[in-house]
A = this chain, B = another copy of it.
């Protein structure tokens, strides 16, 4: 229950960037901007229904919450990106019977600066 598709991912990224809840239309516009830079031929923007479908799926997955009170519904991410990512990492780690060995490998790969941060976070 972890992986997201490309579009789902893009939507989550936008929701995470915005602190405020936003509408499907706004999202559609933001998505168009995002891709117009990448693509040469100005790809056709997505239909709003497409965005709404994706939002519904994300809602079902528990990643997105919607305000039904306002007329154009507004959507926002349930958890912050950091929390979500950290949770994912734990999910990956969780399935291992040898957590410490995994952590050892993991630590060996983070950058020096990050190692320093970790040291501070771990205290003393």
Binding site for B on A (CB under 8 A): 2-3, 81-83, 85-86, 88-90, 92-93, 95-96, 98-110, 114-115, 117-119, 121-122, 124
Chain B residues closer than 8 Å to A103, beta-carbon distance: 86, 110, 114, 117-118, 121
Copies of this polypeptide in the complex? 2
Set of chain B residues within 8 Å of A109, measured between Cβ atoms: 86, 90
Asked if A96 and B85 sit within 8 Å, CB to CB, the answer is: yes
Q: Which residues of chain B are within 8 angstroms of A96 by Cβ–Cβ distance?
A: 81-82, 85
Docked CA distance A104–B83 (Å): 9
* Contact partners of A100 in chain B: CB under 8 A: 114, 117
**Nearest CB of B to A62, in Å:** 18
Would B85 and A107 count as touching, CB distance under 8 A?
no
Q: Give min CB distance, A56 to chain B, whole Å.
A: 22
Q: Give the Cβ gap from A89 to chain B, nearest Cβ, in Å.
A: 5
User: A102 — which chain B residues lie within 8 A by C-beta?
Assistant: 82, 85-86, 89
State the Cβ distance, A65 to closest chain B Cβ, in Å. Answer: 20
On chain B, the residues within 8 Å of A110 by CB distance are 103
